[in-house]
Amino acid sequence: MRSSSPPPPSGCLARFHPEAVDKFSIVAFPLAFTMFNLVYWWHYLSQTFDQNYQG
């Protein structure tokens, strides 16, 4: 007996397998989180430094 799965729904996300999305997320989320934190703290500390030593 042959088991057939339904065709994937049409659309952009139908081309990506769940395993590929998981692999991408394993790298992309920590990288995005780290980059956001670096930019946030650089901006925050530079503003604090400017306020403390300019006036």
**DSSP string for residues in the chain:** ----PPPPPSSGGGGS-HHHHHHHHHHHHHHHHHHHHHHHHHHHHHHHHHHHHH-
Kindly report, residue by residue over 1-55, the tens digit of the pLDDT: 666 766 656 555 668 899 999 999 999 999 999 999 999 999 999 988 777 777 5
Q: What is the pTM of this model?
A: 0.58
